[in-house]
Amino acid sequence: MSFVKQYLEEAAAIVARLDVEAIDRLAELLAETRRRGGRLFILGVGGSAANASHAVNDFRKIAGMETYAPTDNVSELTARTNDDGWSTVFEAWLRTSRLNGDDAVLVLSVGGGSEEKNVSPNLVRALKHARSVGARVGGIVGRDGGFAATVADACVVVPVVNPAHTTPHTEAFQAVVWHLLVTDPRLKQAETKWESVR
């Protein structure tokens, strides 16, 4: 079998195994956050940071939610990293934004963070802060979901069908899931451009 065929078959297997109920819970969490007038903060590192930026656009423009990603402000991100350390950047950003119980944090991550392995400690600290102020926590993550899955109110874990392709599949399916969410009638408020052009 060619690599292209194998990779696409893996993607099809992931679609078939996605937890529909978990996605539904995440959609409802986000819809409830908007109904309360809460804000959405999307956290991601690496490729997931780029996904966070794209998702911010979609949640703001299509779903009408006040949404932010700390990684969109490279000056603040690098200043905080330089002055206080990488593990503090998201927690400090959320504190300055006065994250509260009306708000939600959405984590996009391959591993979901791990304190024990010192992987994405910035996500772990941010999520601990979110829980301490009563903010809701959602996630679209891979592998076993890591710390994010253990503390989330609603978490979609992208199934691992080939451990050698965990990262590319997880980051690709983050996009599939958030596009599904902003298209869900509970969240969608504005037409997307090409669908509105007759």
Q: Which domain holds residue 65?
A: 3-12+21-189
Q: In this predicted structure, what is the pLDDT of residue 77? A: 93
CA gyration radius, the chain: 17
Strand bridging mode 136-141 / 67-68:
unpaired
* Domain-located, residue 197: no
* Interatomic CA distance for residues 154 and 139, integer angstroms: 7
- 19-69 pLDDT per residue, tens: 999 999 999 999 999 999 999 999 999 999 999 999 999 999 999 999 999
* Domain-located, residue 124: yes
Q: How confident is the model at residue 13 (pLDDT cuts 50, 70, 90)?
A: very high
Here the CATH number for the domain that contains residue 170 is 3.40.50.10490
Residue in this structure with the two tokens 């423009």, named with its chain if needed: 61
Percent of the chain with pLDDT over 90: 90
pTM of this structure: 0.95
Query: How many structural domains is the chain composed of?
Result: 1
Read off the tokens for 105: 């944090």
* Domain-located, residue 57: yes
* Domain-located, residue 194: no
- 130-172 pLDDT per residue, tens: 999 999 999 999 989 899 999 999 999 999 999 999 999 999 9
HSE-CB of 19 using CA atoms within 13 angstroms: 17
Residue in this structure with the two tokens 């408020």, named with its chain if needed: 189
Spell out the residues 6+ positions from residue 184 whose beta carbon is closer than 8 angstroms to its own.
27, 31
Question: Can you say how many angstroms the Cα of residue 133 is from the centroid of all Cα atoms in its chain?
Answer: 19
